[in-house]
Structure 1
Amino acid sequence: MELINLIHIELPQIQCGRCNTSGCMEYAEAIASGEAHDRCVPGGQKTLNKLNKIVGSYYKKVDMEYGPTINNQKVSIVEEECIGCKKCISACPVDAIVGGMNMMHSVIDDICTGCELCIEPCPVDCIEIIELSDKEILKPRNDSQHFFDNKEFIKTSSKRTKIKNYSTKNLNISEKINLQLKKRDINKLKNLKSMQISIIKSDLEKIHKYENDDIDGFIDKNSD
């Protein structure tokens, strides 16, 4: 872990993903595991020289196939041209863009790292690049890992919630089907006749509004 942290500190913290990882921490982990450390084009030769010393192996030049480079910059949305599609919000690795669907979006200057990931998805080309000084870009990039991790946590939590809701729905379907089977004195471990299945499905569709695929899946699984 110490090696990963030493590598991570020297990366530019843009979270641009140009090294073919999701962000700077993942690239640091990859380097520590033996991946090439010459892929950080935004970090340039200065970063490469530091990584050469830390890792103990030598690359002469940065691999420009992972370019182009990224300057000290941030992005700005031309708000009167924004259509509120949220594509830039989804693309931003540090949640530096705010706005709702069909509503004007804005960039939070203190968080934007200038990674440019929001530019390509924009269907109306309303995102501009603004050059910054070394001092102006320092805070957003120093703080970027925190905001990157926070967005990843939110995404993971959202996935867990969806899985939990889906599992709860499946459990409810199972309970309702078992109740119907019990009421009609049907042994689900034996083959269910088509008429019996039809009756059960009809009840479930009318009373509980479950989809046919959900019901069929459960019955198929339990009617060997």
Structure 2
Amino acid sequence: MAQLAQSITPVDAVVSRMRALDATLPERDGVAVFNRVYLAVTEEVDRHLDAGAFPDPEAAITLDVRFAERYLRVAEQGCPPACWRPLLQFRRHPGVRPLQFALAGINAHIGHDLALAVVDACRTLGCEPADLEDEFDRVGDLLISMEERIREDLMPGPDLLQIADPLTHLLGSWSLERARDATWSAARALWALRGLPDLAEEFCDRLDAAVGFAGRMLLTPLPD
């Protein structure tokens, strides 16, 4: 795929939509918390694209935009798949901490949306998932590098350590790296099932439900 000149890309349009959401959502809203995290990640991807860090920028842009569009449809239009419903239902719950909102959104987006976005990108580009593996890994590496910073920024301080104990236990059961690995397997399975639409739909439904269940656990309200 041809190298793209440095210019305004579809990723810039995605960033603009996320910034518009950030300006309209209440700061403590659960979707707003995730949106700020995702905006930071997408801006980082955009900087890497501008710096020529992706060997195949067309593939990276296509995957990134197809991925983001799945979240933006939920945030802007509603009608969410099952994986997003816990976050939307608990977005204003006073017993749910910002870090829980952030990781529940990441869980839904990585665990479900990313697998479907890989398939979307393959169809758009006329390629196989293996052709996108480098771009998938590079975006995933950016997410993982930011995960610790996200936890540090949103975790209660040392003076709240006693209160944070159940939060630490709850969130320690979820791993972005494991979720990313499972997503890659799911994307390859969905691609293999593309000629069997009934089975592909059943697989998607079960993936959606399983990711939604994990999200509901991440959003367990905690005592003050």
Is TM (by shorter chain) over 0.5? no
TM-score by length of 1: 0.22
Higher RCO, Cα 8 Å, sep 6+: 2
TM-score normalised to the size of structure 2? 0.22
Q: In terms of Rg, which structure is larger?
A: 1
Structure having the larger proportion of residues in strand:
1
Structure having the higher helix fraction is 2
